[in-house]
Structure formats: C-alpha cells, structure tokens
Amino acid sequence: MSFHGLVSVVIPCFNTIETVERAVQSALKNAPHLHEIILVDNASTDGTLGLLLKLKESIGNRIVVAEEASSGACNARNKGLSLVKTEWVQFLDADDVIAPEKFKCQVAFAEQQGVDVVVSPFELVDRGGNRRHSLLPQLPAEMGLMRGCLGTTGANLFRTSMVRAVNGWNPDWSSAQEYELMFRLLISDAKFGIFQESLFEYSTGVPGSISSGSSFVLKSNSLKLRRTMLEHFLLQDWSKRDKQALMNGLFLQVRWALFVNPTLAWENWNYLRDKNYWPKPDLYLPQSYCFLVRVFGLYFAERLRQLNQKLAI
C-alpha cells in the first residue's frame, strides 16, 4: 500500500475520557486522506484506556490503541510517531478539534509548495465558548518562531520523515514543546510554508491540558527557548532591521515573564541591553510603550501597561 499523501493522527491521552471522543470524530471526518488515528494512553487513571479500546472496537481498523508508561505528552507523541506509516503526521491534543477539510487542504498545499511543515492559523476557544482568531503574519520562519506566531501543535501538519530525523519530541520540555520541535526542524533544513486558512480549534483553560500548566513554567520555558533561538539566529547574516525584529521577539518574552520569573527576565533584559538593544515599534510593540521603556525603564513601563489592561477590562 502506498502511504503517499496520507495522514496519521497521533493523540496523547492522559485522563481525557471527557474530551477524546470529540477529537477522534473530528479526525475521522478527514477521510479519504486519513489513514489511521493512533491513540496513546499515558497511564490514565480515569478509565480513558477503556474508552479508547471501545472506540477501536466500534470504529475498526482506523483506530490504533497504544500505551506509554513514561509520563508526559512528548513521550506519548513519540510512541505514536514510532507507529506512523504515512507521509504526514497530525499531532492532536485530546481536547482539540480539526476541520473536515484540513488534511485535503494542507496536503495539497504541501505538495504544491514542496514544504515539510504546513503552518496555519487557528481559533482559540475558552471554557466559556468565546472565540479568538490567532494572528499568522507572513514572516520568515525564524521570525515566526521568535514571535510565537508559527501556528501550534494541532494547527500544523508535519512530514513524518523530518520529525523522525530530529528524533521527535523532546520530553525535557513540559511546555513550548511544538516551538522547540519546530526550531530543531528549522535548523535541520526543514522547509516551512504558511497556509492562511484556519482549520483547527484550540481549547484553552481545560483542566489537565498542556496549556493549563503553571504560569511560571509556561513563561520561563518560553523565554529560555527564545534565548536559545536568538543566540543561534544571530550567528546568521541579517539586516539591521531584521536583527532588531528578532531581538524584539526575545524582548516580548522578557516582559511576559517579568513579574513571574523576574530573575530570568532581568538576566535576558541585560543580555539584550549588552547588545545596545532598545525595543522599537512593530505589530506587537506600540511606539508609546517603547518610549516609556527608554525614558522610565522596563519595570515602570510594564507596570503601566498592565494597569492600562486592567482598566480597559
């Protein structure tokens, strides 16, 4: 059987008994490009494994159930990755949903553009059902990684061979996992393409989901990763304008972590200042804010920004 143009879905499952069936049903609607759905139970304690086996019994050969004893979504995804036979792999969390035409559209785009990672925008849906469309500006992959606007796990589609070539997901990371993976893919010469159609719903604030982890861990990991990225990217030849844009990306992470992990934030702010960096206006940094940082310092500017946000609510 030829697996060219086909997609396997890998879903890590830890205590996902209330959500996983919805994710599975959304993936099933992607036939005929769907080959199989690999459900990896990650030592669940709520009966998830029993539900996965029932889904396999009722749906049939399109469902593969596996188990991974080592905790963490990365380990579960890697277990699923080891079972994938198809050209493309869709990593999907158990509380998220993909559109029926996702594989058809993204596979066609990938084949037309000759890319290894298809990046797409997505819809964020909170527990109250409120929706927000993610931004996906047309930027080089390096800029997208620094700015955190290069899609997300379920929005993107990955060439299986490329993910395997970089040894899959890194279990040392409890968050920022897809950006750490995409960084390794990029520096291994994977080609990225942006497909500007939202085909994925990303649920936020769901108890137990990766995105619901502690603010300290989420923001610290994100900042550490961008520092590693920036140090690598600055070894390349960039225009002065592009170098500023890359450094703005690290700065955004600095201010995000300032009142959660101040030690790490100030360390990275000093790293930027040692390079004679000051924030300059762009899509995410208004001119007024950049002026405040220069005149009154980062701490005051960030306190004022947060106060304005509270008053606007």
Q: pTM value? A: 0.93
What is the arithmetic mean of pLDDT over 219-229? 98
Q: Which of 188, 212, 236 is the last residue of a domain?
A: 212
My answer on whether omega of the bond before 32 falls inside 30° of 0, hence cis, is yes
| Token digits of residue 270 | 């000093």
- At residue 281, the pLDDT reads 96
88 in any annotated domain: yes
Strand, helix or coil at 63? strand
1 in any annotated domain: no
User: Residues 194, 224: one domain?
Assistant: no
User: Residues 89, 70: one domain?
Assistant: yes
- At residue 180, the pLDDT reads 99
- What pairs with residue 201 in β-bridges? 97, 123
Residue 259 lies in domain: 215-312
| Number of helices and strands in the chain (H, E) | 12, 11
User: Residues 134, 16: one domain?
Assistant: yes
User: Residues 187, 62: one domain?
Assistant: yes
The percent of residues in the chain predicted with pLDDT above 70, rounded, is: 96
Report the mean per-residue pLDDT for the chain. Answer: 94
- If you write DSSP's letter for every residue of 249-274 in order, what string do you get? HHHHHHHHHTTTSHHHHHHHHHHHHT
Q: Number of folded domains in the chain? A: 2
167 in any annotated domain: yes
Strands 131-133 and 123-125: what pairing? antiparallel
Going edge to edge, which strands form the sheet with 63-67?
63-67, 34-41, 7-13, 88-91, 157-159, 117-119, 192-194
- At residue 1, the pLDDT reads 65
What is the arithmetic mean of pLDDT over 210-225? 85
- At residue 61, the pLDDT reads 94
Q: Could you say which DSSP state residue 65 is in?
A: E
Which of 207 and 38 is assigned the larger pLDDT? 38
Q: Which of 212, 243, 262 is the last residue of a domain?
A: 212
2 in any annotated domain: no
What is the arithmetic mean of pLDDT over 155-171? 99
User: Residues 39, 64: one domain?
Assistant: yes
- At residue 213, the pLDDT reads 61
Answer whether residue 131 shows pLDDT above 90: no
**CATH number, domain containing residue 137:** 3.90.550.10
User: Residues 113, 259: one domain?
Assistant: no
CA distance 154 to 11: 10
- Cα 231 from chain centre: 21
User: Residues 149, 295: one domain?
Assistant: no
- If you write DSSP's letter for every residue of 95-146 in order, what string do you get? T-EE-TTHHHHHHHHHHHHT-SEEE---EEE-TT--EEEPP-----HHHHHH
pLDDT (tens digit per residue) in 183-216 = 999 999 999 999 999 999 988 765 545 555 689 9
Answer whether residue 22 shows pLDDT above 90: yes
CA distance 269 to 76: 35
CA distance 248 to 272: 9
Phi and psi at residue 12, to the nearest 5°? -75, 135
Name the pLDDT band for 105 (thresholds 50, 70, 90). very high
Task: Tell me how far CA of residue 310 lies from CA of 248, 251, 305, 306, 313, in angstroms.
Answer: 24, 22, 9, 6, 5
pLDDT (tens digit per residue) in 280-299 = 999 889 999 999 999 999 99
pLDDT (tens digit per residue) in 231-263 = 999 999 999 999 999 999 999 999 999 999 999
Q: Which of 158, 185, 212 is the last residue of a domain?
A: 212
CA distance 48 to 42: 9
| Token digits of residue 67 | 């188990």
pLDDT (tens digit per residue) in 107-125 = 999 999 999 999 999 998 8
